Amino acid sequence: MALIVQKFGGTSVRDAERINNVADIVTSTYRQDNDVVVVVSAQGDTTDDLIAKAAEINERASKREMDMLLSAGEQISASLLAMAIERMGYPVVSLLGWQAGFDTTSDYGNARIKKVDASRIRKELDKRRIVVVTGFQGVNRYGDMTTLGRGGSDTSAVAIAATMHADLCQIYTDVDGVYTADPRKIPGAIKLPTISYDEMLELATLGAQVLHNRSVEMAKKYNIELEVLSSLTREKGTIVKEKSNVEKMLISGVAKDDNIARISIIGVPDRPGLAFKIFSKLASKGINVDIILQSIGRNGTKDISFTVEKNKMEDTIELLKSYEETWGASGIVSDDNVSKVSIVGAGMESHPGVAAEMFEALFSRNVNIQMISTSEIKISVLINKADGERAVEAIHDKFFEAV
């Protein structure tokens, strides 16, 4: 008998019909003599709707009350799914985060899982029950409900799989796997049979919203294989694991992130210590910096540019302006009409020339590059937002046309 964790996202449990479909998948897994733990997200747009409801009443509601509210979404889908399974004649029980043993930090709205005490789940499985658990939530040391951050149900599922040493952790969603590019935008996008944790992590942070980052980090740490698949097509999905098998593929995906802004500090004195001062100020304000570019000193001054998340742009500018004089800078400029386009692939570690190919693709469509950054398995360029789609297309064609 195997232990299988199956997680279903909001679109998979959107309405009664979809819930029945999920109940079908779950019970057929159970019938094959498996122990099944199911983790569910809130139905459809429930979480967004609840946030909107809160805003109507109190725009500055405390995070504790927000979590009290948001955790209700998953309670609805868990109980409804249990009812559907019940009606099909199978033994089932639904559990809230705290009942399932999710012990989290106190950080309302973005709590981290400290530990999962799976004894209750185990007990229920031993009675041959299907166990449905609410994703996205837990309880902190004050006994209050917490939530794990948007998209956190994936992480709930992986945490159960890791704690209980599950044989398989399936993440059912509305796409049927991980693609080489967004399949809604790039018709030639290819579904990957496998992808490594590291590649998936890069893609996840780059805006390929398939899996919650923290779920991939956790899967990597505990070496849990994940399968990303669709609850509608029931086709084989993509397996996320330590090493992908797709050796002949140089890169595994192209991603675009529009949620980004570029900021430059112009004409700072070219002497030691400034980068330290600037970036430690940003860090102390919790502003995450991504690509950094420093020009070479000329006539005693240099420019430092970097990117931040778009919603941090105003705060960043304000902060920099308050130090502009102290630092002796001659100006701050910013632009949020930019996109970051990246290619990710474990294959590039051992193949020179990948960057050149990417730049050639951009050149062929006359796309200008503003900034470049690279890591072992990733190359990112910052370009004009208006060029974004064209750039992804050109790069994707270049690397995947022949595949």
**What does the binding site for ligand ASP look like in residue numbers (CB under 6 A)?**
9-10, 41-42, 47, 73, 135-136, 150-153
Task: Give the angle 11-148-221 at the CA atoms, nearest 5°.
Answer: 100
Q: Which is nearer to ligand ASP, 152 or 267 (CB)?
A: 152
Cβ-proximal residue to Mg ion, closest one: 151
Q: Which is nearer to Mg ion, 122 or 150 (CB)?
A: 150
Distance CA 44, CA 73 (A): 10
Q: Which is nearer to ligand ASP, 9 or 388 (CB)?
A: 9
Q: Which is nearer to ligand ASP, 9 or 267 (CB)?
A: 9
CB of 215 to ligand ASP, least distance (A): 9
135 binds, among ligand ASP, Mg ion, none (CB under 5 to 8 A by kind): ligand ASP
Q: Which is nearer to ligand ASP, 209 or 375 (CB)?
A: 209
Q: Which is nearer to Mg ion, 40 or 361 (CB)?
A: 40
Q: Which is nearer to Mg ion, 27 or 238 (CB)?
A: 238
399 binds, among ligand ASP, Mg ion, none (CB under 5 to 8 A by kind): none
CB of 49 to ligand ASP, least distance (A): 10
Which has the closest alpha carbon to 30: 170, 129, 101, 107? 129
47 binds, among Mg ion, ligand ASP, none (CB under 5 to 8 A by kind): ligand ASP
Report yes or no: 152 and 136 within 8 Å, Cβ to Cβ: yes
CB of 143 to ligand ASP, least distance (A): 22
CB of 235 to Mg ion, least distance (A): 19
Q: Which is nearer to ligand ASP, 47 or 342 (CB)?
A: 47
CB of 48 to ligand ASP, least distance (A): 7
347 binds, among Mg ion, ligand ASP, none (CB under 5 to 8 A by kind): none
Name every residue whose Cβ is closer than 8 Å to that of residue 213 and which is 6 or more positions away in sequence.
Answer: 201, 204, 205
CB of 112 to ligand ASP, least distance (A): 15
344 binds, among Mg ion, ligand ASP, none (CB under 5 to 8 A by kind): none
Dihedral pair phi/psi, residue 124, rounded to 5° = -70, -40
Binding interface with Mg ion (CB under 5 A)? 9, 151
177 binds, among Mg ion, ligand ASP, none (CB under 5 to 8 A by kind): none
73 binds, among ligand ASP, Mg ion, none (CB under 5 to 8 A by kind): ligand ASP
CB of 368 to ligand ASP, least distance (A): 36
Which has the closest alpha carbon to 329: 394, 278, 402, 383? 278
Instruction: Tell me whether strands 226-230 and 168-173 are parallel, antiparallel or unpaired.
Output: parallel
345 binds, among ligand ASP, Mg ion, none (CB under 5 to 8 A by kind): none
CB atoms within 10 A of CB 176: 20
CB of 209 to Mg ion, least distance (A): 7
CB of 125 to ligand ASP, least distance (A): 23
Q: Which is nearer to ligand ASP, 94 or 380 (CB)?
A: 94
